[in-house]
Structure 1
Amino acid sequence: MAQQLAEDLWRLEIPLVGNPLKTLNSYLILGPRSLLVDTGFRQEPCREAMERELEAVGVDRDRMDVFLTHLHSDHTGLAPELVRPGCRVYIGAVDGQRMLAGQSEDAWRRMDAAYVQEGFSEEEMDLLWDSNPAKNAGPVPYDGYVFLRDGDILQRGSHALRCVLTPGHTPGHLCLYEPEARWLFSGDHILFHITPNICRWSGVTDSLGDYLESLKRIRELPVERLLPAHRQQTGDLEQRTRELEAHHARRISDALDAVRREPGRTAYEIAGSMAWSIRCRSWAEFPLTQKYFAVGEALAHLDYLMVRGQVQRREEHGKWRHYTL
């Protein structure tokens, strides 16, 4: 149901069926030219909810642009089909270029092969091939994206929305900050109740280090209304950044302890020995999709340790294995 947060600001609740995140918060800023922030998967439940809620608010669809905080398909999936002629889809230049380059089958094959080297079996990756929503629920091919960069301004009525580059969750994640109303659309950079997934990205040396620096960058922004992309919980920006830093400090310690206890393990094996909030009795019972994200997050923490000279890895019989220094 659409929820009015301010005179010209609405939250649209988009269901993410079968996904642990449960829902997406899409935000709509009304004005002479409106702006929709994030869209949901390219799936029928998301599509039906979005169309229903946009109609309920009464936005002029011929004068509505779309802003995507980052490239993940639960944020981008519906974007090309929501815009009408003359309207625009905005996304950060870094993530936009990655999204376009990553839509080919060859790109997915390379990623799958890399995860096999990190400890997944080929059988597991084959099972993931048709079930990964990043692949089958992302946007249709579209060549009309408008790329934005750090510091760019989107003017919507009386609101001057500034793009703030916050890499970590994705390499080119953008938040939108409105300094007069003190709004921060935080995407997946700042979440409450759950923590953003930070994983390894190809071509990025230290995703977790980037994320921690991005937390510092926005910590002291004057914010009265913090607008995260998932769940209705919200709160104090500075306090939440401190909590997220503490969470990752514990995760870093867990990863280092796991390597020390049993040197020579793959990231898949290390992830299996780390603590996760998912309700499963053992690593073997983890849903395969959640294993994929857990291993990606373990890799980000291992990269953080490798950059700082505490862990090294060696390729042995086609698998990457980790050792302390």
Structure 2
Amino acid sequence: MAEQIEAGLWRLDIPLVGNPLKNLNSYLLTGERNLLIDTGFRQDPCREAMARQLQEIGADPDRTDIFLTHLHSDHAGLAPELIRPGCRIFISGTDLPGLEDAMSPERWRRMYREYERNGFSPEETALLWCGNPAQNAGAGQWDPSLYTALADGAELTYGGRRLRCILTPGHTPGHLCLYEPERRWLFCGDHVLFHITPNICRWSGARDSLGDYLKSLERVKELPVERLLPAHRAETGDLRARAEELRLHHLRRLENALDIVRRRPGLTAYDIAGEMRWSIRCRDWGDFPVTQKFFAVGEALSHLDYLEVRGLVERRTEREHDVYFAADGGRITQETYFK
């Protein structure tokens, strides 16, 4: 059921069936024209929940534009099906090429070859090809005429509300938050989540995704925010406090990864991820579902990239695999963190 948060602001609960994220919070701003923020997977449970709740609200699809906080399929997958002629889908200019690329089978072949280089077996990547919702539940076809690219600082106006785009790279290279300064609302997508932490993985073309993410946390944490509107789960809270919790979470994860590399030099990212600490109900690394291994190794890679950029680990190629060694014996400090 759609939940009215304030006059003209609704939260739609979109189920992500079989996914650890559990749900997507899609938001609708109503007025002369409506703005729908994020859409869900291109899957029947998302499709049906979205249609039912938009009907409950009485939203006219012919007057509804869509804003995508980022390119991930749980946010962007349904957008081309929902959009009507004369309406627009907004996404950052940085994420727009990646959205097109995500619809290319060759892009996924390249990615899985890269993951095999980092320790995945061909059998595991074959399973991913069939069962990875990041690959299989996104938009079904590419139509560039549907999308309008937005830059950092761009403004949108819906229902008399002026919304400013804030570029927050990290979770994806072009993740956007939407800030309403008068009411002090922040639609934060996957940049700031509660109970769970945003997945920060390695991105092609980004040298240091985790470093980008940490800088993006610093960018938003002092904003005057009275209502923080995250994309997943029911939990919300204080922006500044949660940003600090997320910073410390990644500091601990960096220390964990560096300790593993020092104790066991020459491991792949896959093996390092297998020894890292994760909040998941599995007995051990072998018990992880392959899709969760995919996200865990992506996160391990972003932390190893961060350490490599700062001269704390060294990446080498041995027997067609990337493996890691401690570099200068340094340690993670507050000073390292902010470089």
Normalising by the smaller structure, the TM-score range is: over 0.9
SS of 1:81's partner is helix
Moved more, 99-108 or 157-166: 99-108
Native 8 Å contact 2:8 2:159 kept in 1 = no
Helix, strand or coil for the counterpart of 2:20? coil
2:32: which partner in 1? Answer: 32
Q: What do the CA deviations read for 1:240-291 (whole angstroms, capped 9, x no partner)? A: 0000000000000000001001000000000000000001111001111000
**Separation of aligned partners in 2, 1:107 and 1:283:** 27
Q: Percent identity?
A: 65
Task: Tell me if 1:14 matches 2:14.
Answer: yes
Q: TM-score of the superposition, structure 1-length normalised?
A: 0.99
TM-fit CA distance, 1:188? 0.2
1:50 — aligned with what? 50
Deviation of 1:308 (Å): 0.3
- The match for 1:71 is 71
Which of 181, 187, 190 in structure 1 is aligned with 2:189? 187
The aligned amino acid for 1:230 is H
Match of 1:266 among 265, 268, 282: 268
For 1:307, which of 306, 309, 313 is the aligned residue? 309
1:317 aligns with 2:319: yes
Say if 2:215 is the partner of 1:209. no
Q: 2:201 aligns with which of 199, 216, 219?
A: 199
| Unmatched 5+ stretches in structure 1 | none
Aligned residue type for 1:29: L
Deviation at 1:106, TM superposition (A): 1.1
SS in 1 for 2:225: coil
CA distance in structure 2 between the aligned counterparts of 1:135 and 1:249, rounded to whole angstroms: 30
> Is the CA contact 2:168–2:191 (under 8 Å) kept in the aligned structure 1?
yes
RMSD: 0.6
SS of structure 2 residue aligned to 1:239: helix
Amino acid in structure 1 at the alignment position of 2:113 = A
What amino acid maps onto 1:293 in structure 2? F
Offset of residue 54 of structure 1: 0.1
- Alignment partner, residue 336 of structure 2: none
Q: State the SS of the aligned residue for 2:90.
A: strand
Q: Which residue of 2 aligns with 1:158?
A: 160
Distance 2:292 2:105 in 1: 22
Please state how far the C-alpha of 1:105 moved relative to its aligned partner. Answer: 1.2
Distance 1:313 1:139 in 2: 35
* 1:112-131 paired onto structure 2 within 5 Å: 112-131=112-131
Question: Aligned match of 1:148 in 135, 140, 150?
Answer: 150
Q: Secondary structure at the residue paired with 1:26?
A: strand
Q: Does 1:248 align with 2:218?
A: no
Q: Distance in 2 between matches of 1:120 and 1:132?
A: 14
TM-score by length of 2: 0.95
Q: In 2, distance between residues paired with 1:197 and 1:153? A: 27
Deviation of 1:127 (Å): 1.0
Assess if the C-alpha contact under 8 Å between 2:70 and 2:95 holds in 1. Answer: yes
Cα distance per residue 1:281-322 (max 9 Å; x no partner): 110011110000000000000000000000001000100000
SS in structure 2 at match of 1:130? helix
Output one character per residue of 1:226-246: Cα deviation in whole Å (capped at 9) or x when no partner.
000000100000000000000
Between Structure 1 and Structure 2, how many residues are aligned? 325
Alpha-carbon separation, structure 2, partners of 1:45 and 1:105: 24
Shift of 1:102: 3.0
Is 1:88 the counterpart of 2:88? The answer is: yes
CA drift of 1:140 comes to: 2.2
Unpaired runs of at least 5, structure 2: 328-339
Match of 1:280 among 279, 282, 289: 282
Q: Give the structure 2 partner of residue 219 of structure 1.
A: 221
Q: Secondary structure at the residue paired with 1:271? A: helix
SS in structure 2 at match of 1:305: helix
Tell me the SS of whatever aligns to 1:31: coil
> Secondary structure at 1:27's aligned position in 2?
strand
CA displacement, residues 123-159 of structure 1 (integer Å, 9 cap, x when unaligned): 1101110101111110122221100010000111210
Paired residues of 2:92 and 2:149 also in contact (CA < 8 A):
yes
In structure 2, what is the Cα distance between the partners aligned to 1:169 and 1:84?
29
- C-alpha distance in structure 1 between counterparts of 2:253 and 2:7, whole Å: 41
**What is the rounded CA distance, in whole Å, between the counterparts of 1:6 and 1:96 in structure 2?**
31
Between the aligned partners of 1:186 and 1:87, the Cα distance in structure 2 is 23
